[in-house]
Amino acid sequence: MTAELVIDVRDLRKRYGARVVVDGLTLGVAAGEICGFLGANGSGKTTTMRMLCGLIKPDGGGGTCLGLDIVRDASRLRRQIGYMTQRFSFYDDLTTAENLDFVASVYELSDRRGRVRAIVERMGLAGRADQLAGELSGGWKQRLALAACVLHEPKLLLLDEPTAGVDAKARREFWDLIHDMAGDGLTVLVSTHYMDEAERCGRIAYLSGGRIVAQGSPDVVARGSGLVILAATGGDLDRAARALRRMAGVESAAVFGSAVHLAGMDRAALERAIAAYDGDALIWHDVAPRLEDVFIHLLSQPDGGAS
């Protein structure tokens, strides 16, 4: 990368007893980039984020975030990063504005009232400012959490599965806000299990066993996976998927609308499986692998989701 690296860490390691959670992870994220963190539960995403923002110390390796050492400068780093956890962690019996005012007081911000008013407007929370946080829907709670994370104007934002359990409309609006802020120079590292969200990232990094095993733009990762995807229409697709799924060389066979998709690394093996299927006649053709196909493929590998 030629751009300035906001995140620049190498060979990060973390273990809890005999359990290795992060195992030699190296990551660079450029200024203004939105980088997606993908991987199965337990693959090391949350632990990595907590090391990056100085909440836990790595057992090995190191590096910098925002030019600050993640170990030596941990206390300074925590004040300059916005970190949004998976769990909503604000006070249900305070209003949206009161929660934000409390966060502003923790950061010892000047002109707290003006700062809160500005972020409420920017995040579209004006109509919810006087509503108790405990009465907000999931989507509005996530907006409140995001507002609190950027209230102190950080240059780096770490988001740990920020839209889990939120409806599609709220997720899209949340991501529009992220892109707006990235356009203003904010750097974002975001973990997600939603492939439509991953496709909105400029770059993705897939973790397995505490290591990055694939990274690049979503298109590059999909094209470079080596996966062969064959699709067919016609016939009893559910029956075809069920039968083909059991054949050698077939990693997955799934129905998507009016087509069945067959995935694997060995084209000859897929063609043998198609030839051996004795069901209704199906018309097969090649399709480009999607990010979801790659995600499922990586999960199916040995230790694909282990940590």
Question: What phi-psi label fits residue 65: left (phi over 0), alpha (psi between -120 and 50 degrees) or beta?
Answer: beta
Distance (Å, whole) CA 239 – CA 40: 29
| CA-only gyration radius of the chain, Å | 22
pLDDT value at residue 305:
42
- Please count the other Cβ atoms lying within 10 Å of the Cβ belonging to residue 30: 17
pLDDT value at residue 191:
95
Strand pairing of 203-208 and 211-216? antiparallel
pLDDT value at residue 306:
39
pLDDT value at residue 4:
87
Q: Which CA distances in Å does 298 have to 23, 47, 50, 191, 203?
A: 17, 20, 24, 16, 17
The correct CATH number of 5-222 out of 3.40.605.10, 3.40.50.2300, 3.40.50.300, 2.30.110.10 is 3.40.50.300
Residues of the chain with CATH 3.40.50.300: 5-222
pLDDT, averaged per 10 consecutive residues of the chain (307 residues), comes to 82 94 95 94 92 95 96 94 89 96 94 95 94 93 94 95 88 93 94 91 93 92 92 89 92 90 94 85 89 84 49
pLDDT value at residue 302:
60
The correct CATH number of 228-288 out of 1.20.120, 3.30.70, 3.90.550, 1.10.3470 is 3.30.70
How is residue 29 annotated by DSSP? Answer: E
